[in-house]
Each structure stands twice: as C-alpha cells, then as structure tokens.
C-alpha cells in the first residue's frame, strides 16, 4: 500500500500516520505500507507533493511490485493526492493501482461545494472561519486551483480503480467526497461512498475509541479483502 498523509499540503508526516500504516497492514492481511513524507508548501508548492507521490509509487515498482498489487490510501489532502496521482499515471499512459481508499478527501481547492456553506457552522475542526487550512492557498501558488492535479473534483475519472470513500456528515469537505463519488460513478468507476452521520474530518483517527471509527476501519478491512481476492 502507498499511503499519502493529510495535512492540507502544508504539514508533514506525523506519528498518527505511522499508526495508520500499522492498522492498514493488519487489516490488509500483513501487507507492507509505504508512507512518504512528501514535500509541503509554502516551501514546496504544487506540483512538489505530486512529484513525490509519483516517486514513491515508482519506488514500489522498483521493489518488484506490480501496479495491480498496489493500493493507494490517503486522508484529507492525501485523499485528493491519491486521485491526482491516478490522473498523472493515466495521462502518462501507465497502469493504475488496484484500488483507492480515501478518507475525508480534499478534492476541491476552490471550495465550490454546498457543504462549505451548509456545514460552515457545525464543522468542529474547520468551521466558523475562513482562516483555516482548507482556505490556505500556499500549495496552489500561481497554478489554477481547478487544475485536476490540484482539485481532482474537476478531473475525469474514467478507468479509475475501485474506490472506497469515507466522510463525516458534519464536514465542510463533505461535498468534496460526495461530488467526486458521484462523478466517478457516472464515469463507470466502482465507488463505495460511506457518509458517517455526525462525524468530523478524518474521524478514523479515533481508531477504536468510537463506534463510527471502528466501523469505518472494518469497512476498510472488507474493501482490502475484496481487492486482495480480486473480487472488486
């Protein structure tokens, strides 16, 4: 598995993602998990993170894994980045990985979705202000925020592998997940979208502390099992 961590493209790797790596490994049947501490803004704006994600993917291939062996996983910015990586691979006429797990993916850096308004007051992490990470433009720099490599929502999802997308209903990023799921489904992609009622951004960090996070990880386990068996 190649795991791309969250952090709004402005914050690096932290121990929570090393824990996620262990959980993914266990749930995936002792799979190995690669987690790059990719470069972040403002020192390294777009496309640095995407370039590093591609370098990590290529590193796995150099170790002898095939694209069909690789699952991409990411949360928040990492959830968007896994989709951007697939666009890049497809654009270069390369094979895509066998599946995607995206938790609260940040797919729209233009903040165009309804949930940016509807959940403005109730999102416990990002709500009630526009001075938050999800409005930060450091990663975008001089680029167009509608560039699908920055905002995957504006890309085309044909030929994408099966995706499991999880999101909380209280998130300002709810639309990012729902709209991508709908668009990908229309493009013929197998998508499982799970909206967890009352949950917040990357609530899976709760691991076993909350029934919702336990259920979400169980759902991940089922998805990984399906991918491993080639039943997706």
Nearest distance from residue 194's CB to another protein, in Å?
A: 13
Tokens for 72? 């991409």
Q: Give every CB contact of residue 231 below 8 A, 6+ residues apart in sequence.
A: none
Tokens for 133? 């990470």
Nearest distance from residue 116's CB to another protein, in Å?
A: 14
- Which of these, 16, 156, 136, lies nearest to 75 by C-alpha position? 16
Residues taking part in catalysis: 76, 171
DSSP string across 76-139? THHHHHHHHHHHHHHHTT----SEEEEES----TT--STHHHHTTTT-TTTTT-SSSGGG--TT
Of 125 and 143, CB closest to another protein: 125
Nearest distance from residue 86's CB to another protein, in Å?
A: 19
Of 74 and 148, CB closest to another protein: 74
Nearest distance from residue 128's CB to another protein, in Å?
A: 7
Q: Which positions lie near another protein, rule CB under 8 A?
A: 7-8, 10-15, 17-18, 21-22, 25, 29-39, 48, 51-52, 55-56, 59, 124-129, 131-133, 136, 170, 196-200, 203, 206, 209-213
Of 155 and 171, CB closest to another protein: 171
Of 75 and 157, CB closest to another protein: 75
Q: Give every CB contact of residue 125 below 8 A, 6+ residues apart in sequence.
A: 132, 200, 201
Residue 14's SS3 state is coil
């Amino acid at each position: 598995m190649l795991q791309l961590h969250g952090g709004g493209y402005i914050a690096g790797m932290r121990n929570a993602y090393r824990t996620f790596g262990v959980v993914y490994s266990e749930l995936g049947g002792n799979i190995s998990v690669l987690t790059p501490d990719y470069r972040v803004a403002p020192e390294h704006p777009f496309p640095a993170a995407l370039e590093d994600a591609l370098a990590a993917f290529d590193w796995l291939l150099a170790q002898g894994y095939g694209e069909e062996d690789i699952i991409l996983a990411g949360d928040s910015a990492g959830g968007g980045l896994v989709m951007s990586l697939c666009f890049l691979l497809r654009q270069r006429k390369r094979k895509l990985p066998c599946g995607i797990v995206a938790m609260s993916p940040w797919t729209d850096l233009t903040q165009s979705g309804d949930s940016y308004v509807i959940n403005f007051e109730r999102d416990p992490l990002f709500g009630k202000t526009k001075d938050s990470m999800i409005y930060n433009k450091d990663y975008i720099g001089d680029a167009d925020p509608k560039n699908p490599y920055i905002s995957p929502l504006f890309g085309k999802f044909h030929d994408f592998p099966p995706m499991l997308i999880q999101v909380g209903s209280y998130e300002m990023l709810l639309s990012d997940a729902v709209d991508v799921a709908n668009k990908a489904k229309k493009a013929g992609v197998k998508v499982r979208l799970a909206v967890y009622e009352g949950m917040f951004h990357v609530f899976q960090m709760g691991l076993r502390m909350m029934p919702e996070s336990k259920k979400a990880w169980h759902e991940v386990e089922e998805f990984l099992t399906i991918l491993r068996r080639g039943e997706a």
